[in-house]
Amino acid sequence: MKIVALFPEAVEGQDNQLLNTDKAIGLKSFLQDKGHELVIMKDGKEDLDKHLEDMEVVISAPFYPAYMTKERIEKAPNLKLAITAGVGSDHVDLDAASQHNISVVEVTGSNTVSVAEHAVMDLLILLRNYEEGHRQSKEGEWNLSQVGNDAYELQHKTIGIFGFGRIGQLVAERLEPFNVTIQHYDPINQKDNEHSKFVKFDELVKTSDAITIHAPLTPETDNLFDSDVLAKMKDGSFLVNTVRGKIVNTDALVKALEDKRVQGYAGDVWYPQPAPADHPWRTMPRNAMTVHYSGMTLEAQKRIEDGVKDILNRFFNDQPFQDKDVIVSGGRISSASYNAKNN
């Protein structure tokens, strides 16, 4: 069986990294021992296209995705399984996958703690104006008024969480000791919990001092945070996004930051990925962007490795996948998150 995987290129001396072309999350020996062919790609475009005709399984990570568009799926007649080495399968056209009876499975829960911690870090970085303080330190400056003018405490702020699944709930749990008011919107989870109060989407946008996004990219959330939604945000509020860059409109965000309608933006997700060198988010005001690595802690990578191997073993042995991991199966999108409608 031909299995194609896309991983970031290995760099000499970075021996801890599991998710790269060298270690390949342990798949080289794992698949060789089972008699399968593993092709490791460095490029998700031309390199991917030349394997479409005869590949049966494709594996890639959200941090470095192989975009399985409708056009590519139609050129892959033997493809049976698309595995996300992590969480978030929006790089696969799910409708096309269901129409061609391709299973889409991910490693649910593998990086939830890592991403939740990253989101809390981003909130603190933005509110404390860390990026300006660090810039001054690095460039030999010492302008306390400039950095202090936009530095705030987190306590007593209202934090809005958009998307209240596993990661959103972990974020709420970790924010509670900061003595904040936490509110959330989620089209599926419309109940209060011990850490957070459910509110409608418009209320979340208008009343939050900072919003952190934890909803999957779907047709409903694609470009949801456009110029209209950003204009409704509380003056001087902050926005964090550790899910998918495409949930926030690229140009609208730049303008909102330039106009100081939104005071700061942090996250690690871009569209497309890898982001081009001239992506406007690299240079927009008050940004605390990083490359997409919030879910790539070494602990998360090990859970991803174990999860991908479990998915493959189940596939090889004609065993059902774990329900929590299944996004598309049996010709339909089975994940509630990807079927949810905002209201």
Judge whether 273 counts as a catalytic residue. Answer: yes
Place of tokens 């871009």: 270
Handedness of CA 200, 206, 207, 212 (dihedral sign): positive
CA dist., res. 130 & res. 261, Å (int): 19
Contacts 24+ apart (CB under 8 A), 65-68: 65/6, 65/91, 65/273, 66/4, 66/6, 66/41, 66/91, 67/91, 67/272, 68/92, 68/93, 68/96, 68/97
Judge whether 32 counts as a catalytic residue. Answer: no
Q: How many CB atoms lie within 10 A of CB 200?
A: 12
Which residue is catalytic, options 244, 249, 286, 303? 244
DSSP, collapsed to helix, strand or coil, labels residue 267 as: strand
Judge whether 111 counts as a catalytic residue. Answer: yes
* DSSP secondary structure letter of residue 76: -
Closest CA to 151 of 171, 175, 133: 133
Which residue is catalytic, options 189, 273, 287, 301? 273
Burial 35-53 (b: 16+ CB within 10 A, else e): ebebbbbeebeeebeebbe
Q: Do residues 119 and 240 make contact, with C-beta atoms less than 8 angstroms apart? A: yes
- Maximum distance among all Cα pairs of the chain, rounded to whole angstroms: 65
Q: How many CB atoms lie within 10 A of CB 129?
A: 21
Which residue is catalytic, options 20, 111, 241, 249? 111
Judge whether 314 counts as a catalytic residue. Answer: no
Which residue is catalytic, options 214, 292, 301, 303? 292
Q: Among all residues, which ones are annotated catalytic?
A: 111, 244, 273, 292
